[in-house]
Structure 1
Amino acid sequence: MISCAKKIRFFFVLSAVVFFVELRAQKSSISSVDSLKDIETIISKENNSKKDTIELKKRLSFLKKSSSKKSQILYNALLANGYSAFFDKINSRSEQYYLKSIEEAKKLNDSAFIIWTQLNYSKYLYFYCQIDRLIPIVLKTMDESNLVDPSEMIFPHETFKFFGWIMSTVEDDSAISYYKKSMQYMQKSSSESAGVLNAIGNCYFRNKDLSNALHYFDQSEDIALQVGDSVRYAKILGDKALVYEEKGNLNDAIRFLKQDIQYSQKFKIEKNEMYASILLARILLKLKDTSTTEKILERAGEIASSKSYYRSSLKEVIELKLSILNGKNLSKELLLRRQLKQIEEYLLNTNGNTVLQRSHWLIQKEKYENDTEKIRLQLEEGERTKKIYIIIVILTLSLSFVLYYSLNKKLKEKRLKLQNDRLLFEQKLNDASTDISTYAEYLKNKNKQISILENELEEIKSSTSIQSEEEKVKLQEVLSSHLMTDENWNAFKREFIKQHGDFYNTIMENFPELKESNLKIIMLQKLNLNNYEISSLLGVTTDAIKKSKQRLKKKLGERYDLLFEIIDK
């Protein structure tokens, strides 16, 4: 009994010690949030954590329980990152916590936290190709970073590196200066510095400065090998291949890309393997090695299809496959072209060229406004200030015009093409020896055009702009011109009777009570048009066609089945 009592007493003492040690450790963690160094330590630790959100909440519980405002900001921002990693796509939970962290940082009026939370959210938008939403936030964060000493920022090297990424995306030359600025605040020989040097090399390559590009790629390669970063080394090999391809040295380019793919497969870097494979396929296609190219593209296509944010790469894969086919397999080519159309429509609303161009214009507009604002503040004379305002108005109007033109050009081109297609087909119809088979083809063509027009009208239905309203009216006019008019019907009826005279006479003899509206449906159905196609041509709903048939059935009674037996023959 005495031994048992001692054990119980020892257990309680041990439990109390563990409780107070944990409590002390928790208090220590919470109190350390006010230190910039410790804040960065917490962020770094969570950036390398696993995707388990339940476990993440447990790890971050000490922040949530803290009364510190900074702890709450960190909790929401890091939880947002956790949900992003878990879902691996744009999701409502991440959005909620990102925006909450930004809001709390602004309430606290802490510049370091405002910049970091906005940057944290921007990385999320950038990674999932939400370029339109990203640009305004980044522009604002850039302006705010100019007012803060970099030494007071949270991860200044990450901040300036990300600005470099953004400017590189829209092909702005300021990217290089941001990258070089980030180098001032990071360890010189590290995977991160190798990555930045590689990015600078890519900027020079884009500007066709191959000498500087290769210089920075070589520097990046030396550091990657020095620190043992095989992943970075693989990416550098692919970038160097681009330089050698540009120089016309295709053999060296192929050699680098094959090494890149080998490293990427070894370390399971699918994204890099995909990029390198597409580059290699493009070069091999120049050398007419189609069999090897097809095998490489199959693997690249598998990776590109696995993530929605790889669709721009999937577009490249399909375009290369079409280049290989070049009319040799029409059915396969048709399938690929349908896929390509779907991807292009998706990219137009996410990370496609149209969005990037629009974002680029937004950046240019913001830069012009910022420049003119600085000049205006420096000017004291009213007349010079007035001239600056005029410049701003001209630039704004010019940019607005370009933006409007780029967004509406595609829609106008489609409308004109539909009009031209209709006129061309009708001209062919007039020139050809007219028979009922020609009309059948003509009606099928009209149905296709009507379907396209209806889709176009549906796409712009939600728009409220004056220009969109005008475009709706024009498209509606084109749609009306495709419907079967009385004149077209009479011409069609004459040709129908010529070819199907016996059928027409049988119908009229046995069913004299049929109206002209009934005859339209009967004749079109005789040509194997379904309810939807008939309704499209006549400009009515499918339900209206069904109801018309129901009324006819009621009117004819038992003779209704006889009518459709005659039609089917």
Structure 2
Amino acid sequence: MSAKKILFIILFCYSFAANAQKLQISTSKNELKNIESILLQEKNFGTDTTALKEYLSPLNKITKYQSIYKGLLANGFSNYYTSRNKTSENYYLNSIQKAKTSHNISLEIWAKLNYINYLYFYRDYIKLTPFLLEIMENLEPLRAEQIINADETYKRIGWILHTFGDYKKSLHYLKLAEKQAVKNTSEYASIINSIGLNYLYIQDYKMATYYLNETAKISSQIHDDVRYAKALGDLAMVSQHKGDFEKAITYLKKDIQISEQNKSDQNTMYASILLAEVLLKNNQIEEAFDFLNKAENIAVTKSYFKKSELEIIKLKLQILKLKNSTENELNLRRRMVAIEESLENEDGDEAINQANWIIEKNNYQESIDEAKNKYEKTLKKFYLIIATMVFSILLLVFVYFLKKYKDRQLQYEEKVKALESEKVKIEQKAHEDLESQIEYLKEKNIQIKNLKKEIENIEKSSFYYLEKRKGKLSNLLQSHLMTELEWNAFEREFEKECSKFYILLNQDFPEMSEPDKRLLLLQKLDFSNNEIAELLEITNESVKESKEKLKETLGDKFKLLFGRFY
């Protein structure tokens, strides 16, 4: 072959490759379809950011597509860094700003959701929430045909709401996505899979099973092996909730096998953790430990798998406790503390994320209402200047007192939340023996005293009207009082540890009332009069009187119970 022919072939191949990498911009009259066509051509250039910019450059030359140019550049740099980075952040925010100036609400929704996907991937739930709320409000009046990639938009919102635990609203958006998605595709399978998971979390196992089986069926038909594996893993969760551990184990082992064959490390990790949990419940401790090691080997490779690594460590510590072993426990606990500290401000615990979601949602709704009020009041200025001046003065006074009211309300709510959090902490502890029961009662006593003190202080402060109207502290105090179930649990543990005393009390003194019996049990454990009074919901003086009456009533029998009275 001649040199000219070889040169021609090389130039032809180069020209073909260059054209293959050229982004095509449609000139259809349907602008929304043009944008969707552009987005379908998004490519991952890995570390070649020069090629990325060259590929996207045609978009930058057209004003109406500059928002898309910035947004896709942001995605490209996110792929390049594989972590949060300032370059991507700047491009995402620039993309949103460009979309706003274009006055194209559909494009603005896309730009914000594109940024949300980035924040969601790196678990910054707090930062993404205001953008999500804006999108949800903007979507409200729009029809599906007015939204860029409507099925993807609805699906993404549904996923995020599921993460925040808002399962009913998540279902609303996912079912909108289901209507828009093309049937028998991977996209459709992922949507109905998410619907099934939401039904699982609201404990509608029948609907959950139906949707997850449909996911598995469609995934198998279209040969989407990874989606099929995920569906099996989710069906395993349904079986686990129903108590069918053997079936759950079978599903999960199949899930892991398929995920490994398809090199889906993330799904392999998730399924291995879930399998370890089920095996642990089924008393297959050694096998559970092996699968945790498999999951850990994947979790340590990515910074955004820290939450999964924390879950793995906690399960390993649980296994060590069951085995009465301390091997590697110190290292595991050190790593656990380090991960918890690093997750504190980014991927915190689910309850914290949900709390932040609610707070952000309420605050944002208040800002919307306030903005609407100001807008309506501004319009009235054109009708009568003098009336507006008077109105403005009144408004300033109103805003001033409203701010003071909100500040007080916020302080009040924060105080209530702090006390509620303390209550949750002690109630979450295990009360498996008498020692832990005593500790629980002591802590409960301290909290009751603190609450009473707070209520006394608040009655003397400017917050009193809030407590009088809402009564949250009083309700919290009531919730601290011992229930019959708690007393029964306490008595069971007392009977185990002090069986002779308990048998003597019941057999020799059957006439004794339940309150007197509880008083004697607490006295036996060296609870002070003040502590007994708080737990029995009586005064300190009543405790002393009850003791004296018991001493008189029981007479010499009393010595069988106590060597001394106080």
**Alpha-carbon distance in structure 2 between the residues aligned to 1:128 and 1:26:** 31
Amino acid at match of 2:79: A
Paired residue for 2:333? Answer: 337
Paired residue for 1:156? Answer: 150
**Alpha-carbon distance in structure 2 between the residues aligned to 1:148 and 1:88:** 34
Paired residue for 1:535? Answer: none
Paired residue for 2:297? Answer: 302
Paired residue for 1:361? Answer: 358
**Alpha-carbon distance in structure 2 between the residues aligned to 1:27 and 1:94:** 21
Deviation of 1:335 (Å): 1.2
Deviations 1:207-251 (A, max 9, x none): 111111111111211211121111110000000001111111111
Deviation of 1:137 (Å): 0.7
Write out aligned runs for 1:252-271 (5 A): 252-271=247-266
C-alpha distance 34-87 of structure 1, shift in aligned 2 (>3 A): farther
Deviation of 1:325 (Å): 1.0
Indicate conservation of the 8 Å contact 1:36/1:154, yes or no. Answer: yes
Paired residue for 1:45? Answer: 41
Q: Which is greater in Rg?
A: 1
Deviation of 1:186 (Å): 1.4
Q: Secondary structure at the match of 1:46?
A: coil
Amino acid at match of 1:171: G
Write out aligned runs for 1:194-233 (5 A): 194-233=189-228
Deviation of 1:54 (Å): 2.5
Deviations 1:395-414 (A, max 9, x none): 99767655566579989999
Paired residue for 2:229? Answer: 234
Unmatched 5+ residue regions in structure 2? 375-400, 426-566
**Alpha-carbon distance in structure 2 between the residues aligned to 1:345 and 1:321:** 19
Indicate conservation of the 8 Å contact 2:171/2:198, yes or no. Answer: yes
Write out aligned runs for 1:356-435 (5 A): 356-362=353-359, 364-365=361-362, 369=366, 401-402=412-413
Deviation of 1:70 (Å): 2.1
Pairing partner for 2:68 from 46, 53, 74: 74
Pairing partner for 2:104 from 107, 110, 116: 110
**Alpha-carbon distance in structure 2 between the residues aligned to 1:403 and 1:154:** 41
Query: Bigger CA drift: 74-83 or 144-153?
Result: 144-153
Deviations 1:443-490 (A, max 9, x none): xxxxxxxxxxxxxxxxxxxxxxxxxxxxxxxxxxxxxxxxxxxxxxxx
Paired residue for 2:86? Answer: 92
Indicate conservation of the 8 Å contact 1:365/1:396, yes or no. Answer: no
**Alpha-carbon distance in structure 2 between the residues aligned to 1:170 and 1:393:** 31
Indicate conservation of the 8 Å contact 2:23/2:41, yes or no. Answer: no
Paired residue for 2:116? Answer: 122
Paired residue for 1:421? Answer: none
Paired residue for 1:283? Answer: 278
Amino acid at match of 2:94: K
Q: Compute the RMSD of aligned alpha carbons.
A: 4.0
Is 2:32 the partner of 1:36? Answer: yes
Query: Bigger CA drift: 279-288 or 399-408?
Result: 399-408
The two structures have a TM-score, normalised by structure 2, of 0.62
C-alpha distance 164-218 of structure 1, shift in aligned 2 (>3 A): same
**Alpha-carbon distance in structure 2 between the residues aligned to 1:405 and 1:55:** 56
Deviation of 1:355 (Å): 4.0
**Alpha-carbon distance in structure 2 between the residues aligned to 1:194 and 1:399:** 44
**Alpha-carbon distance in structure 2 between the residues aligned to 1:343 and 1:158:** 33
Paired residue for 2:468? Answer: none
Indicate conservation of the 8 Å contact 1:217/1:236, yes or no. Answer: yes
Indicate conservation of the 8 Å contact 1:33/1:70, yes or no. Answer: no
Indicate conservation of the 8 Å contact 1:217/1:240, yes or no. Answer: yes
Deviations 1:133-152 (A, max 9, x none): 01011001111112333212
Deviation of 1:161 (Å): 0.9
The two structures have a TM-score, normalised by structure 1, of 0.61
C-alpha distance 323-84 of structure 1, shift in aligned 2 (>3 A): same
Instruction: Give the % identical residues.
Output: 37
Indicate conservation of the 8 Å contact 1:57/1:79, yes or no. Answer: yes
Indicate conservation of the 8 Å contact 2:22/2:55, yes or no. Answer: no
Is 2:126 the partner of 1:132? Answer: yes
Indicate conservation of the 8 Å contact 1:187/1:193, yes or no. Answer: yes
**Alpha-carbon distance in structure 1 between the residues aligned to 2:70 and 2:345:** 29
**Alpha-carbon distance in structure 1 between the residues aligned to 2:230 and 2:407:** 40
**Alpha-carbon distance in structure 2 between the residues aligned to 1:302 and 1:323:** 19
**Alpha-carbon distance in structure 2 between the residues aligned to 1:336 and 1:409:** 30
Deviation of 1:62 (Å): 1.7
**Alpha-carbon distance in structure 2 between the residues aligned to 1:170 and 1:27:** 37
C-alpha distance 30-283 of structure 1, shift in aligned 2 (>3 A): closer
**Alpha-carbon distance in structure 2 between the residues aligned to 1:158 and 1:164:** 10
**Alpha-carbon distance in structure 1 between the residues aligned to 2:202 and 2:408:** 29
Unmatched 5+ residue regions in structure 1? 1-6, 378-389, 415-569
**Alpha-carbon distance in structure 1 between the residues aligned to 2:265 and 2:127:** 27
Amino acid at match of 1:351: D
Q: Secondary structure at the match of 2:42?
A: helix
Deviations 1:59-108 (A, max 9, x none): 112222x2x21221111110100111121111111001101111111111
Amino acid at match of 1:175: S
Paired residue for 2:318? Answer: 323
Deviations 1:327-383 (A, max 9, x none): 744361111111111111122211112640332322552586599899999xxxxxx
Deviations 1:168-209 (A, max 9, x none): 111112110100011122102211111111101111111111
**Alpha-carbon distance in structure 2 between the residues aligned to 1:224 and 1:370:** 44
Indicate conservation of the 8 Å contact 1:170/1:359, yes or no. Answer: no
Q: Secondary structure at the match of 1:228?
A: coil
**Alpha-carbon distance in structure 1 between the residues aligned to 2:239 and 2:38:** 43
**Alpha-carbon distance in structure 2 between the residues aligned to 1:315 and 1:402:** 31
Q: Secondary structure at the match of 2:41?
A: helix
**Alpha-carbon distance in structure 2 between the residues aligned to 1:278 and 1:142:** 34
Q: Secondary structure at the match of 1:162?
A: helix
C-alpha distance 241-219 of structure 1, shift in aligned 2 (>3 A): same
Indicate conservation of the 8 Å contact 2:44/2:76, yes or no. Answer: no
Paired residue for 2:562? Answer: none
**Alpha-carbon distance in structure 2 between the residues aligned to 1:338 and 1:278:** 20
Deviations 1:269-303 (A, max 9, x none): 11111111011111111222222122111110111
Amino acid at match of 2:101: K
Amino acid at match of 1:143: E
**Alpha-carbon distance in structure 2 between the residues aligned to 1:247 and 1:394:** 49
Amino acid at match of 1:283: V
Amino acid at match of 2:135: T
C-alpha distance 104-40 of structure 1, shift in aligned 2 (>3 A): same
